[in-house]
Structure 1
Amino acid sequence: MKHHKLFKQYAVTLLLILPLLVFTSACSDDDDDPVTPTINEAELLVAELEGANGDYLNTSCPAIVKADAVYEDVTGTKTFHVIDIRAAADYDLGHVPTSVNVNSADIFTHMATINAADYDKIVIVCYTGQTAGWVVGLMRMSGITNVYSMKYGMSSWHSDFDKITPNKGSSASFVTTAAPAKPAAGSLPAISTGKSTGAEILADRVAAVHANGFGAVAITATEVLSAPDQYFIINYWSEGDYLGIGHIDGSYQYTPKVDLKLSAALMTLPTNKTIVVYCYTGQTSANVAAILSVLGYDAKTLKFGTQAMIWQTMIDAGKTAYNADNDHDCWGFDYEK
């Protein structure tokens, strides 16, 4: 009888404890479920760009070929594939012999119809070289490593197409003060493509930036100089030229191929302010703006570069600036209609 009573007490206790054991076991199972790791897309993207993608920004940017090299090829060996991205009406008025007319919005569709490796160079031609530079930046990030922009675009082919001279200016007041210290390093822009690898994230970001068009990253000198405090302005020159030639007052000096690496000063760029990059002619800054835009920054290229602000100063200093009277800037080559 005593044993029977103990068994009954044990059974009752077991009935009370069993649900707790099941609940605890369920909780334990939940705790043991693997946690999906958080993906930092911005870090993966930078690692891809600076690693497997070849780090174009900090190695061979800008990829530019001069008009005379293009002329020699299209009238001789024909190893270049020349793509003119100007409006069809302007292409019809005159273009580089053998070139094909492709809207910049359709450039990747066109590239899918050819084998880039069949050509020594893929050459992108626009009006002044700046839109082409932006396109080349996107194409380089897409793995097309033999693509170049033609320096100064059709403005360098023949004076009939000169779009730079009407836009040059020399009235801006540059200063020669020391560069302000770069901001403290912060964070990379937040990116959310839903992709899980650097290559996939890069492809998604290039497509998004390309879809917005060059107009989304272009800004005029008038806009910038009328309200410079609204922008984080980057002088993308050497420190020697920054101080020797002068610069927009308050602009920061970032050395090409050095400062925009993750291990250097990339993270000193603001994620909450429009970044304006300017260079000599706008062709380099167009590449840079394309790459920074893909990284998630609100980046713009200053149209025509310093040619729109201090053209005469650049000419006097012997620096890169388009001069229609210089045979090596405007070659006067024959063109097709």
Structure 2
Amino acid sequence: MSSDSPVQSTRIVLASRPDGEPSADNFRIEAANLPSLADGQVLLRILYLSLDPYMRGRMSTAKSYADPVEVGDVMVGGTVGEVVESRHPKLSPGDRVLSYSGWQTHAVENGDHVRPLDASAAPLSTALGVLGMPGFTAYAGLLEIGKPKEGETVVVAAASGPVGSAVGQIAKIKGARAVGIAGGPDKCAHVRDELGFDAVVDHRSPTFADDLKAAVPDGIDVYFENVGGAVASAVFPLLNTYARVPVCGLVAQYNTTEAPEGPDRLPGFFRSVLTKSLTIRGFIQTEFVRALQADFRRDVAKWIAEGKIAYKEDIVDGIDNAPKAFMGLLAGRNFGKLVVRVAEEEQGGDGFSCRWS
């Protein structure tokens, strides 16, 4: 493809900021011509787009760890793409790369800002899941903050999701007892039977709090927080002295627009932090990239090859289906790592077969 020929990208932009739960009206699909390549740049055909809960925060102007998406701009997101044209000395057409190109079918990127992928080593989509940001979030948060010891009990919410599933399986590898919290019988069966957790509790059950207490007879030493809300309320009284709580996400609260009803629980929270000597540490996975990324890629790839870590992907076809899929993600309707297949891979790509699909 000649750089003189304009390339059109179909993209999804933020049309307006949501008030509470996002709706279809908050997104707009449009076509845009991409600029010609400058030296050092590459033109990408996007193959896969990752959908993740953090994107809800980027739709808001509330103060956060990252700048919001501006109204009219392309929604952000991790992507796997194929190089179509290159003016970068180390990248050639046909190369598969990890980028942060967002919700669009084509993108122009600085070649220094993408990472080449080995399509023969693992399915390309795993670079957005178990071998990508979600997997690294689990690895870094659990091992650097949770620090599970052999024989301890690790509890993780959203246990069938890409982060929670990796947390529990890594905890098992480290000799801890893994207890998952998931929603509905299918997800609970997957966590127990396919991922190998020691126990799983359905947060939709009317007896959830009692079920959780029965599943952790020795209390909870590490709670990996993905959800917040009612799940956290049931977990907190069961934390042991010196328990560690890596706080990765609070998806149950992302769409709230006002404070919850009821008494102020903050004094009781701090009393427990003091009397139980708890360690509660929020984190963003990028804090650990420089120190742990190489270890993560080595360890998790090895554990997958050894059959110690399984994963499940929930693949949706078509960029135009991204908004609906994202709204479903926030409501817990996905089952596994949610990925949009933007375009089909060409023949001759990877020959690796997924353990879960």
Q: TM-score, normalised by structure 2?
A: 0.28
Q: Select the structure with the greater relative contact order (CA < 8 A; seq sep ≥ 6).
A: 1
Bigger-Rg structure (1/2): 1
Q: TM-score, normalised by structure 1?
A: 0.29
